[in-house]
Structure 1
Amino acid sequence: MTKADIVTKITDKTGMEKSDVQAVVESFMKEVRNSLETGENVYLRGFGSFIIKKRAEKTGRNISKNTTIIIPAHNIPSFKPAKTFVESVKKKVKVS
């Protein structure tokens, strides 16, 4: 599902204008991004949390040059689904 699909489904369910729904979806994503960029996690009860994970410095290998490189410590955005969300997906999604 793409962002356009989400906008279309919300438009169909609410009867709102497509441009208004798109603006709301864009604003939501921008606020989540801005919060994470400033170091603030986003918690959506019943859905999940957008959190920042800290990765420690580690040693890696450049296989093509056969050299060791140091990968510096860094932060990455992550999504952790709520327990109820995970359970509902487990019940409804059929494994092929």
Structure 2
Amino acid sequence: MNKLDLIEALKTEAGITRSEAAAVVNLFFNEMFNALAKGNRVEIRGLCSFYVKKYKGYTGPKSTAYNLTCAISGSTAT
């Protein structure tokens, strides 16, 4: 199911227009995005949870051919 399928299902089940259903779905995903951007955890009980995980940087293994090391910077993943 993608976003358009979700909009269609909401439109059919709630008996609202496509633009109203799209506004609800967009609001839902925008609020999830904003919460994750602030570093908060988003939980939909009985379904799933989303959170931001931060990884520290590290030094990669040496290249035996050139005797060089590679610095890997930290990153953030959801």
Correspondences of 1:1-96 after superposition (within 5 Å): 1-60=1-60, 68-77=69-78
Q: Scaled by the length of structure 1, what TM-score is found?
A: 0.65
The CA distance in 2 between the partners of 1:45 and 1:14, in whole Å, is 21
Return 5+ residue gaps in structure 2 as ranges.
none
Name the CA distance, whole Å, in 1 between partners of 2:70 and 2:31: 35
Shift of 1:45: 0.9
What TM-score do you get using the length of structure 2 for normalisation?
0.77
Deviation above 4 Å: which 4+ runs of structure 1?
none
Number of aligned residue pairs: 73
| Secondary structure of residue in 2 paired with 1:75 | strand
Q: 1:60 to 1:16 in 2, by over 3 A?
A: farther
Q: Aligned to 2:76, what secondary structure does the other structure show?
A: strand
RMSD of aligned residue pairs (Cα, Å): 1.9
Identity of aligned residues (%): 33
Structure with the bigger percentage of strand: 1
Tell me the distance in 1 between the aligned counterparts of 2:59 and 2:34: 30
Unaligned runs of 5+ in 1: 78-96
Residues in 2 aligned to 1:28 and 1:56: alpha-carbon distance in whole angstroms: 31
Structure 2: distance between partners of 1:22 and 1:9: 11
Q: What is the distance in 2 between the residues matched to 1:17 and 1:60?
A: 54
